[in-house]
Chain A
């Protein structure tokens, strides 16, 4: 299979299991909703019955915003203009690449979200690997089986990414970059140097990401129990099929960038209330859905590539994990002989 065919296969696998995409999207929305309601209460308490709310509703009341920010704490402190439209995307990627820490409240919900992903990942990969319906019970059974393996893998994940963010990032941007620019007095050159280091750093992250993705895929496809073994196996696969692995990742990344570019064009501005408010929210959620879709395509196409190289399409070492019926149900169905 060519890389393009593998990529297309990945898309088909995601398309064939829309419930996964919808489920993860709903999880993303539902996790954000309580925090949103808390923030809304903060805004409501500050605005009260003020006439200022009218300008807040119909556009931006920047004076009110600054007044709110001056007294805001916790989640309220994250309510800044960078939440508007495409600025949110730039802000978040920029914060990640510049290694800025999240506020405690947001970090907490993000950790919960990552835990949810870790749980759903087993079922998701199992479904994509089998490439046939496994139904809800099969999905959650697989999710349950692989959750604790992936939790162990998460420790390796954490160590690798902590090293990347804590040591490599610090070395690149605090030591190397600061040394390069110490006597530099041209911003343009500094920008290009920093961009170069972003490319180097992101490349490092991507390599880690690819290895760990294939570790997860091999865990599911080959029913691996050792997460150290899976990580090493993932690494071996990436090294031995580097060209195709990177080519596929690049193809996925292009689509990811295309989604970001589309949102840069169509991201809703501040807008007013009523129809425009909901229309803007719908566009934003379409963007979130597209981000989730491409994340799943990354996983499914990489699964397809692994199977194409080392196994065959739809192969998994473990049988479909189906939980047995309860003893009572089995008795009723006559499956268990009476003693």
Chain B
């Protein structure tokens, strides 16, 4: 049986804790003022915004584990959010059906992606790049550059399922992350995903329905990205076409930091979610250091490289 510290997720948790400790120390306030970083309001904020990346990262991680890659999450988030917002604000649909339709958009996008990859045999990088352009383009066409103001249509003090709105995203994330982690580790389907990612040829030779697995992961990625987009629109109050631009790289980086290998066959859902938290903390805490504004991209890049390098070294040692 694996010991606790042998799980890759353990290292990610440690990195996250170290990061939090570091910023707690560095940003310690004088006197008896409240800590700018280590307080419940700030913690909740970090969770809220990281969750939006996190939900999409669950899907992206599964795709990466299967040996593929998805560049479209950001664009799908935007399109799903825009569709949901438009139905709700312009056409006056009730909230739930409008947002559900947004999620269906993600399903459609995922199916289309899967068709490109499985039927037309396009490399995933190219296929999802194309889907990224198409979905983002449709979002722009629908909105014609305008945005839909969702917040003004929501009743003030709106409480989804009877909870404060700010808790919605983290809650959905936790449920999805745990659910998919279980799915990936204790169900045959999850193991099949790891097999396809580890060695697609050998998986095929072992009787795994490779095409079916590939289709399922891209459809999942589409649906999860759409959920994330809908949540983003609800949390932030605006549905517009340039939502989530550039998110895909952060999402992929989170998965990698969380233990996924871009070659496939390795990684975990929980790890990817922890990865988004690591970046979320960074994005929140860095601007509090005077003069550090322009460094966050640089530091994010360095963090990714360092973690990946250490990962490789540890893997080599084991072999």
Is B truly associated with A? Answer: no
